[in-house]
């Protein structure tokens, strides 16, 4: 009898969503690593400063209506602000079949760094602050399986604001200081946590460096397949 060839499970289409002040091309290294593991990827681009989170998640919905069949599940990966767009999208457009989601360096409870910038020069963060970086994004629906990757390597321009914030905490002898010592150069570890998430992983990467890190890509692939990170 001829031997049966084992069927490889069909993987969901993976949509990658970039962060603030970025474009879709920055997700290329991560997309290529996922493609090498058999994933079908698409890098979704949006205007992170000119438009707010509601418009951008609506445009993601419009793009899917034109390019994706609703019966086929999708996985979503978002870096920083992109993770908040995922949050808004899965809440307001429940008609889509969502497999699993991964956020990278996303400030789920709001960004202190963005808050300082907003108060000093609002134009730098544009319309991405309201309903997103201010910590008021839509709640995560119960049926969404979310994995969170956070970095603890403090490299990036955002650390200027974080260092200033930590100096204020030290001066006030605040008991909260220990909670704000770990960050990725832009986002505090504390800000990435979300009780509703399925898993949370800390990795030795910076806020932008996580996008080109092979170990991060491996962990994303593992979560998309198994619903938890590899330990």
pLDDT at 6: 46
pLDDT at 9: 57
Do 94 and 121 touch, CB atoms closer than 8 A? no
Going by the DSSP 8-state scheme, the letter that residue 135 receives in this structure is: T
The parent domain of residue 107 ranges over: 13-226
Q: Is residue 183 part of a domain?
A: yes
Return the number of other C-beta atoms located less than 10 Å from residue 223's C-beta: 25
Q: Is residue 186 part of a domain?
A: yes
pLDDT tens-place values along the chain, 231 residues long: 555 554 445 689 999 999 999 999 999 999 999 999 999 999 999 999 889 999 999 999 999 999 999 899 999 999 999 999 999 999 999 999 999 999 999 999 999 999 999 998 888 889 999 999 999 999 999 999 999 999 999 998 788 889 888 888 888 988 888 888 899 999 999 999 999 999 999 999 999 999 999 999 999 999 999 999 999
pLDDT at 7: 46
Q: Is residue 8 part of a domain?
A: no
The CATH number covering residue 192 comes to: 3.40.50.1820
pLDDT at 106: 98
Q: Is residue 231 part of a domain?
A: no
Do 191 and 111 touch, CB atoms closer than 8 A? yes
Q: How many residues does the chain have?
A: 231
pLDDT at 88: 98
Q: Is residue 158 part of a domain?
A: yes
Residue 74: beta bridge partners? 13, 98
In the chain, the number of structural domains is 1
Q: Is residue 95 part of a domain?
A: yes
């Amino acid at each position: 009898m001829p031997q049966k060839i084992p069927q490889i499970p069909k993987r969901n289409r993976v949509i990658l969503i970039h962060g603030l002040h970025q474009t879709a091309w920055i997700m290329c290294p991560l997309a290529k690593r996922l493609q090498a593991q058999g994933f079908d990827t698409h890098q979704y681009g949006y205007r992170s400063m000119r438009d707010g989170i509601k418009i951008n998640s609506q445009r993601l919905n419009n793009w899917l209506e034109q390019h994706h069949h609703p019966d086929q599940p999708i996985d979503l990966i978002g870096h920083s602000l992109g993770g908040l767009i995922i949050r808004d999208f899965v809440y307001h457009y429940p008609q889509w079949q969502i497999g699993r989601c991964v956020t990278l360096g996303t400030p789920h409870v709001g960004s202190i760094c963005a808050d300082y910038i907003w108060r000093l020069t609002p134009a730098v963060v544009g319309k991405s602050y309201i309903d997103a970086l201010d910590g008021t994004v839509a709640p995560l629906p119960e049926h969404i399986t979310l994995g969170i990757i956070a970095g603890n390597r403090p490299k990036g321009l955002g650390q200027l604001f974080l260092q200033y914030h930590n100096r204020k905490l030290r001066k006030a002898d605040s008991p909260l200081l220990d909670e704000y010592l770990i960050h990725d150069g832009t986002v505090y570890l504390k800000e990435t946590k979300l009780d509703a998430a399925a898993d949370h992983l800390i990795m030795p990467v910076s806020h932008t460096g996580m996008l080109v890190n092979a170990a991060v890509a491996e962990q994303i692939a593992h979560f998309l397949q198994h619903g938890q990170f590899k330990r």
